[in-house]
Amino acid sequence: MEALNVRAPDIQTRVSEYIPEIVDYVQKIIDNGYGYVVDGSVYFDTARYDGHNGHHYAKLEPWSKGDTALIEDGEGSLGSKLQGKKNSSDFALWKASKPGEPVWDSPWSQGRPGWHIECSVMASAVLGQTMDIHSGGVDLAFPHHDNEIAQAEAHFDCHQWVNYFLHAGHLHVEGQKMSKSLKNFITIQEALKTYSARQLRLFFLKHQWDAKMDFKKTSMDETIQIEQTIKNFFDNVKALVNKVKLDGSRGANELPDGNVTHRFRQIEIELLQILSDKQDAVHAALCDSINTPLAMDEIMDMINQTNKYMSSNAKSINTHLLNKVAKWITSMLKTFGVADQGTDIGFGVSGSNSNQNAEGILMPYVQALSSFRDQVRQGARQKLEHVEFLKMCDSLRDNQMVELGVSLDDQEDGTALVKLVSREELIKQREKKLAIIAEKEAKKAAAAAERERKRLERLEKGKLAPEEMFKQSDEFSQFDEQGIPTHTKDGQEVAKSRKKKLLKEYEMQKKLHEEYLKENAQ
């Protein structure tokens, strides 16, 4: 639970430490007329309770009252068939123990508490006669929670022990209810081997708490994409905000291209209105039975709208407004336990070693900077061309910074946005970029090879002198001084149209032959 960033309860209780309180509680129920003893066991009298003194049995699921299958599931098939019960719906408050079972002393027998009584007693001992919220799985509504209500209200002789019940939906795995019998049981520890606590919490947030939730790979893949979208948003905002802060530290209130950073145009007014609308929408969603799926949809839409603003106004962005949007989204993710409490913008660094010393954190970055400085100084001494310095910059971006998890995103104005991104993600991006470059180079090499093939083909064709090209054909019998045919093999004079084409072929071969002679002369 700690790994999932679930806070520990303020008070934790154990049934074995509340046996005296349980015995007293059961005795009070008997004294109030709603319990009876049979062979050392104590049962709750549902028939006596239901309709008596304003009480009602099975408040949560009145339609399940008398459902033998549910009762057996709650009491155990053996417990539901014990002899001596007045009514099949009656349930055990105290059970006489069989040999080998845990036992405690009581006025009725050496026995143990019934399943339902322990919850009522411990909750009442800590919270008193009433409580606001009681939670549990939807399968506990009847008989467990209904029996809790009955025995507590019978004990206190009140008519409302709990104000609100929150019944969580079942967890399914790949379309089937999670159970050991189906061998699809997944523990938290097992899930955390594949997915991070943040990803699991985002997955839970995308499902209504009281509805069935299907845990499957495709849904988790979608969740990981949502996480990446949010992270990219935070990275871009922080990079832009930090960039303006850096420029401001140099005495400027403008972006590098001269655009004022605090202009508030119509597009900023519209984005601010969207933010206000989303804040209201998220509040309304959470007020509507804690509708986190709708709340997350509104937050994601806010991110998408802000991304559009950043992409369409790349040269003139109001970072003050961006900061406001990102801080609100971060505050909501903090509320949901997805972002760290100590961060202003972003997820934070959950799970990192906060005790790591400054030297260990900073030294790799300082060494990379020092190495780059050495290369620049050495290159300057050697009076290298400026293109070599650009290569050094590219190497710093694509190698040392990637290994350190730093993204230098080059912008049109010649500056770079600085982002902290996972090393693995940057390596993937670099490999993808290198693959694209390799593909382009392979295409260029293939094109060059094709051009060379055609050049050699032309040279080979150009070996033959134009004067000889037609004499090798048995189509003609007479030629002029250039070797152009004048008569066919039958002695007929070559037609003017045909001769015109032959002359054109002759000129082409002449040009190829000249290229051939020139190539060989070199």
What does the pLDDT look like over 331-348, one tens digit per residue? 999 999 999 988 899 998
Q: What is the C-alpha separation between 13 and 34, in angstroms, rounded?
A: 26
Residue 477 main-chain phi, psi, to 5 deg: -120, -25
pLDDT < 70: residue spans in the chain: 74, 76-83, 245-262, 314-315, 349-360, 522
Residue 131 main-chain phi, psi, to 5 deg: -140, 155
Q: What is the C-alpha separation between 129 and 60, in angstroms, rounded?
A: 19
Task: Check if the beta carbon of residue 18 is closer than 8 Å to that of residue 24.
Answer: no
92-129 pLDDT, tens per residue?
999 999 899 999 999 999 999 998 999 999 999 999 99
Contacts of 117 (CB under 8 A, 6+ apart): 22, 25, 26, 93, 94, 151
Q: What is the C-alpha separation between 297 and 414, in angstroms, rounded?
A: 36
Q: What is the C-alpha separation between 358 and 356, in angstroms, rounded?
A: 7
For residue 143, whether the previous peptide bond is cis, meaning omega lies within 30 degrees of 0, is yes
Q: What is the C-alpha separation between 211 and 141, in angstroms, rounded?
A: 14
104: DSSP letter: B
pTM value? 0.69
Give the closest residue to 306 by CA, choosing from 329, 286, 284.
329
Query: Within 10 Å of residue 332's Cβ, how many Cβ atoms?
Result: 21
Q: What is the C-alpha separation between 40 and 108, in angstroms, rounded?
A: 5
Q: What is the C-alpha separation between 400 and 47, in angstroms, rounded?
A: 77
Give the closest residue to 82 by CA, choosing from 69, 74, 91, 73.
91
Contacts of 514 (CB under 8 A, 6+ apart): 462
Q: What is the C-alpha separation between 323 and 156, in angstroms, rounded?
A: 54
Q: What is the C-alpha separation between 239 and 241, in angstroms, rounded?
A: 6
Residue 348 pLDDT = 83
Pairing of strands 416-420, 41-44: unpaired
